[in-house]
Structure 1
């Protein structure tokens, strides 16, 4: 039953995507999302990819754009990563929600911030690397294909997507865990929808082929995918 239940991506809306959500509710949800990312090692795939890219290219400075940056927690981890490895990072967060910018500033997120739809950025905008985490499952397939092509054009050295795997086990785990830990109601509501909107390896193969973007598709524990280019010259 579970296999057929999650066979195709859901199009059910997440509350976090609702612009009517107030700033206080949004910030509360972001705090609990950061907690979930921390206990599930959700930052590790992106930071390991940055390690590989720096080792391959030899660069000692990087401009980084985080798309769908939320409260800036990934940018804060990348800032710490850069300091620990002696890599200068110029960080930019991008999120279309004004509440995200306010939450990121309140949390002390370093770098610049852009409140806009990513496709509204200037055509000549370029960054050394573009990353996103738990963002692509918010997009319908057609917009995701467009996003893959967009990153290929706008990233000098490479890009990396870090997102969920659609499967019954994480769905059940999040349904139980978010309730047992009494997390924010928006997180409780959205967590299982996020899994249902997420991707399988077959999805990623189809979508990257449609976009015409060569990419590495790698399984990440627990129940995540890393979709990335491994570094341009």
Structure 2
């Protein structure tokens, strides 16, 4: 039976967020994120729209909040090298399990992995040209979202951009993910949290209308296929 998708299922926890989650399954989940996100998240679009234009002006500083296993950061670092551009990529996550795994699997990408939250960096006065997150918004309650956006505005430098990207909740997104991952449940995705937590993520996520309703002044919501949302804020020059 199809779940009720009329409102966010904030009372439905994701298994990998449990501090007692099976470490072997968690690490297998981190390992598979790159392949799944290549299809679901389209990181190339984020790189082309937000990172590359700023990197062409000079050395670019990039922050990924809630970076998890760091696959997005390693992807961005590799694209910068391939394009002959200079940049510094920081992966930020408060979960020491994620940061430990990501650091151990950097593979020469040269990403700076930090176990901390966005408030710590904002308080320290750090600034970045591009601040992003991927699949973070649906983890947050309203107070957590408001705090993230306040921190994001503090963390981005003049002329920079904040782009928080996530899934858009809906029946089509849920059905496509359920059908697309079902054949892989006993092979590529076996012994990981990707299928179960992916479906829970969709149930926890915003619709575009909901996100517009809670976004502060100056923030813009953009919808894209397949079932993607981007919450964006651009720091004015000067």
Q: Deviations over 1:11-37 (max 9, x none)?
A: 110011111124322110122222111
Cα RMSD of the aligned pairs, angstroms, is: 2.2
d(CA) in 2 for partners of 1:27 and 1:101?
11
1:218 corresponding residue in structure 2: 222
d(CA) in 2 for partners of 1:106 and 1:114?
13
d(CA) in 2 for partners of 1:206 and 1:48?
28
Whether contact under 8 Å (2:165, 2:229) holds in the other structure is yes
Q: 1:18-97 counterparts in 2 under 5 A?
A: 18-40=18-40, 42-51=42-51, 53-54=53-54, 59-97=57-95
Does the alignment pair 1:101 with 2:99? yes
User: Unpaired runs of 5+ in structure 1?
Assistant: none
Whether contact under 8 Å (2:162, 2:232) holds in the other structure is yes
Whether contact under 8 Å (2:40, 2:226) holds in the other structure is yes
Distance 1:115 1:51, change over 3 A: closer
User: Unpaired runs of 5+ in structure 2?
Assistant: none
Whether contact under 8 Å (2:33, 2:71) holds in the other structure is no
* TM-score, length-scaled by structure 1: 0.88
d(CA) in 2 for partners of 1:47 and 1:74?
10
Q: Secondary structure at 2:215's aligned position in 1?
A: helix
Which of 149, 162, 174 pairs up with 2:177? 174
Whether contact under 8 Å (1:65, 1:94) holds in the other structure is yes
Q: Tell me the matched-pair count.
A: 227
1:227 corresponding residue in structure 2: 231
Distance 1:29 1:23, change over 3 A: same
**What's the offset of the Cα at 1:49?**
2.4
